[in-house]
A and B are shown apart, each in its own frame.
Chain A
Amino acid sequence: MPITLTPPEIDRRHHTGEGDGGGRKPPTDKRTGGNGEGGDNWGDRPQGRRGPRERLSQARVGLFFALGGDLMFFVALVSVFFVNKASGHFDAYSHWVNEWLPTALPSILWLNTAVLLVSSVTAELARRSMFREHDAMEEWIGFGRPLSRRAGIWLGLTLLLGALFLAGQWMAWDQLAAQHVFFASNPSSHFFYLITVTHAVHLLLGIAGLIAALAGLQASRSMATRQVLVDSTVWYWHVMGVLWVFLFVLLEYGQ
């Protein structure tokens, strides 16, 4: 069956139990086994037959944990940021100094932020279009590829905006270098470059993911795989966008 006909959220509302095994407690028993997605008892079925969202939710859970770890990486960097900002030392003349001089952010970063936010919008449009029932049904049956085409367009747009963002970041680094502000210039510039470069590397991975998703839309023969690819990439993209907003606010106002 096409895998989007009855999303579990809807199914859950009027589910009464699958009836395999008399004497079982009613669905209010929260101690379900396996996936146990709420009360819809998909989890009561054998793994592998748990319904349309099984692989999708696995991918999302995996992404959740991976991004959690990634978040800890940035938490460490941001903590070091605050420690360095506040720490002073005795210089050669026994004066207590703090050399932290805020790095002025090139104004192009505002534009880049806007571009990234728009790219999140287009990415979300791509993701949602992957689950549109009508198009999914048609594509699954074999009447052309309306789903992949629509999603592909939005994904392509996201890719373009993402590349634009990275180009803008490069320009920002160029502008700073032209003003002789390099990585080693000042403690604050350490962090400016560190933070923007590590974020850019993550975004580059996101772009690689977008390319993989686009390739998957073309090449993969499994609807579920296409949906998982696009969904994971877009969620990753959103998280990188939100992360950037936080890092940008930190750099703009936190120095």
Chain B
Amino acid sequence: MRIFSTHHRAVGFGYLAISTVAVAIGVLLSLAMRTHLAWPEWPLPVHGPILPEEYLTLVTMHGTLMLFFVMTVAPQSGFGNLILPAQIGARQMAFPRINAASMWLTALALVVLLAAFFVPGGGPIGGWTAYPPLSESALAGPGQGTGMDCWLASIAIFGIASTISAVNTLTTIVKLRCEGMTWQRLPLTVWGWFTAALLSVIAFSVLLAALLLLFCDRHLHGSFFLPSGDVVNGVLLQHGSNGSPLLWLHLFWFFGHPEVYIAILPGMGLTSMVIANFARRRVFAYRMMIATTLLIGLLGILVWGHHMFVAGLNPFAGTVFSISSLAIALPASAKVLSWLATLWRSRPRLTAAMPFALGFVSLFITGGLSGPILAQPILDEYLHNTFFVVAHFHLIMAMAGVFGLFCATYYWFPLLFGRMLSERLGKVHFWGTLLGAYATFLPMHLTGLAGEPRHYAQLNGLAGPGTTLLESTQPLQVHITVAAIFLALAQIPLLVNLLRAWRSSKKAEPNPWNATTMEWAPESEELAVVYREPCEYSVTDESFLTQWSPGAAINTEAE
């Protein structure tokens, strides 16, 4: 493919390449963080000991890379561009050239972000949430000067690119569905992409506004977020008028919460379809699954205050946001129940993509059930910004989301490359990753309950009053770090698998999973036509009907 190709496959692979670079760096950063927490004096090879500001830069860049460049890009823009047109029977995305442009903009954003490591002062230290006044002025800490500007520029570019990409996705789904592809016949994956794109269009603009205001504060003497009389590092910051840091929190989290739903909705859709495929069953309560997808999207816009229960918010507002946050547990539970029902007594075929879908369900349940706890302000008063929160979002978003990505990889590899991935290596990869994920993140609940705060560059070897409290978690810290290293190493089988399959000459069958959705339809000059809903399998799995075949059922064994 040409380097500036506008073909949706090229753009999708471009996005996945961006995510791969980001995830590799993000994993290395997290390993450095974990190693430092467990053994603070251990010097990083070549670099030396990790300083407090460097630790905070690791945290900030890890969060930014993983959330934006991996979890927003790969499921939505990456796999979306690769598979969405085929799944709706279209030949291309709605605006191919703009599509390619948004991919290159995202790549630019990544480069600008990584530049922050190398500018004078180093990378930003405020976390991926960049609360002012810490992010207001270079005086507030090392890296808050040029490093913070790089972060600002990068995320602004990323936001614009994401909005463009989402507009493309939405127009494609609304307008480019092929003949016979009604809204009810859309696979749930497409519903996931659709809802995530709607959220993107709404949320990223608000983030852009917040970034613009922060830029004004930093460079144009504005004071949207800076209170008057603020003395940072001995300097009275006189920007003329009074602002409020809480305003940033509102704007940021209005974006930030839909952002995490953008990250997980495509994975939820894919899980439904993959489970149906391998359980050889229709998705249980298909229409309800569509409704819950949309409902989660809608409610996701209404819960942002639950990040701010102890941030200075009116306690009444805390109650309101608590109600909406608890409410979102219901459509999420409905989805889990549907997955369980689809699987019930189905004896599914456990080829490599399926375990990852099951792992998604497991991690979603485990990570999700700590959600209602955090949604109650009286409990969040204790747990806010502890590692309990870190455990929650890593399990439900990072790990479940990543399992969705692995599921997509194993499922669609034959389609994209015409080769099969090794089943054996896939199973090794699955078990290593699942065990590693739980071993790493389950104990974090306990360290959080013990009171361990987030963003602490050091937990032991200190002399302060918190020493006993923090050092009590040390055994668990070491355990978590070892598990994290194991989790990282557990990805090696995937890399080996990908390399071997890519180089192997054994071709895959056209529809190796006996799937029913349109992306598996044979290549044809004819325009696509859809005849029925997906997931039409016979009860005893003797045969199945694909979406694209007009009449006779296909015998499962014959395929």
Binding site for B on A (CB under 8 A): 31-35, 43-49, 54, 57-58, 61-62, 65-66, 68-77, 80, 83-84, 87-89, 91-92, 99, 183-187, 190, 194, 198
**Which A residue's beta carbon lies closest to that of B177?**
A34
Given contacts A70-B205, A190-B222, contact A44 B179 (CB under 8 A): yes
Name which of A46, A72, A198 has the most chain B CB atoms within 10 A of its CB.
A72
Q: How far is the CB of B548 from chain A (nearest CB, A)?
A: 13
How far apart sit A57 and B171, CA to CA, in the bound complex (Å)? 10
Check B216–A183 contact: CB distance below 8 A: yes
Given contacts A62-B168, A72-B202, A184-B239, contact A33 B179 (CB under 8 A): yes
Check A99–B241 contact: CB distance below 8 A: yes
**Which A residue's beta carbon lies closest to that of B182?**
A33
Q: What are the residues of chain A within 8 A of B39 when measuring CB–CB?
A: none
Check A62–B94 contact: CB distance below 8 A: yes
Question: Can you give 20 contacting A-B residue pairs, CB < 8 Å?
Answer: A31-B182, A46-B178, A47-B177, A48-B91, A48-B527, A58-B171, A61-B170, A61-B174, A62-B171, A65-B201, A66-B163, A69-B205, A71-B205, A73-B205, A76-B206, A80-B251, A183-B216, A184-B220, A184-B221, A187-B242
Q: What are the residues of chain A within 8 A of B170 when measuring CB–CB?
A: 61-62, 65
Q: What are the residues of chain B within 8 A of A87 when measuring CB–CB?
A: 242, 244
How far apart sit A33 and B89, CA to CA, in the bound complex (Å)? 12
Check B205–A89 contact: CB distance below 8 A: no
Given contacts A58-B171, A65-B166, contact A190 B241 (CB under 8 A): yes
Check B227–A76 contact: CB distance below 8 A: no
Chain B stretch 299-334: residues in CB contact (< 8 A) with chain A: none
Chain B stretch 364-402: residues in CB contact (< 8 A) with chain A: none
As a 0/1 sequence over residues 196 to 217 of chain B, the CB contacts with chain A under 8 angstroms (1 = contact) are 0000011111101110110010
B128 at the interface (CB under 8 A from A): no
How far apart sit A66 and B524, CA to CA, in the bound complex (Å)? 33
Q: How far is the CB of B226 from chain A (nearest CB, A)?
A: 11
**Which B residue's beta carbon lies closest to that of A35?**
B175
Q: What are the residues of chain B within 8 A of A83 when measuring CB–CB?
A: 244, 247
B363 at the interface (CB under 8 A from A): no
Check B210–A47 contact: CB distance below 8 A: no
How far apart sit A87 and B247, CA to CA, in the bound complex (Å)? 11
Q: What are the residues of chain B within 8 A of A58 when measuring CB–CB?
A: 94, 171, 175-176
How far apart sit A76 and B89, CA to CA, in the bound complex (Å)? 37
**Number of residue pairs spanning A and B whose beta carbons lie under 8 angstroms apart:** 135
How far apart sit A244 and B218, CA to CA, in the bound complex (Å)? 27
Q: What are the residues of chain A within 8 A of B247 when measuring CB–CB?
A: 80, 83
B167 at the interface (CB under 8 A from A): yes
Binding site for A on B (CB under 8 A): 89-91, 94-95, 163-164, 166-168, 170-171, 174-182, 184-185, 201-206, 208-210, 212-213, 216, 220-224, 227-229, 239-244, 247, 251, 254, 527-530
Q: What are the residues of chain A within 8 A of B182 when measuring CB–CB?
A: 31-33
Partner of B167, one of A35, A46, A66, A88: A66
Known A-B contacts: A48-B527, A80-B209, A183-B222. Give 10 more (CB < 8 A).
A33-B180, A34-B177, A46-B528, A47-B528, A61-B174, A68-B201, A70-B205, A76-B209, A76-B251, A83-B247
Q: What are the residues of chain B within 8 A of A187 when measuring CB–CB?
A: 223, 241-242
Q: How far is the CB of B258 from chain A (nearest CB, A)?
A: 11
How far apart sit A183 and B223, CA to CA, in the bound complex (Å)? 10
Given contacts A58-B171, A65-B201, A87-B242, contact A80 B213 (CB under 8 A): yes
Q: What are the residues of chain B within 8 A of A66 when measuring CB–CB?
A: 163-164, 167, 201
Given contacts A47-B176, A99-B242, A190-B216, contact A65 B184 (CB under 8 A): no
How far apart sit A143 and B181, CA to CA, in the bound complex (Å)? 41
How far apart sit A143 and B461, CA to CA, in the bound complex (Å)? 87
Q: Give the 5 A-B residue pairs with the shortest CB-CB distance, closest first.
A: A46-B527, A76-B209, A184-B221, A73-B205, A72-B205
Check A72–B213 contact: CB distance below 8 A: no
Partner of B205, one of A49, A62, A76: A76
Q: How far is the CB of B253 from chain A (nearest CB, A)?
A: 12
How far apart sit A9 and B436, CA to CA, in the bound complex (Å)? 60
How far apart sit A74 and B209, CA to CA, in the bound complex (Å)? 8
Check B244–A34 contact: CB distance below 8 A: no
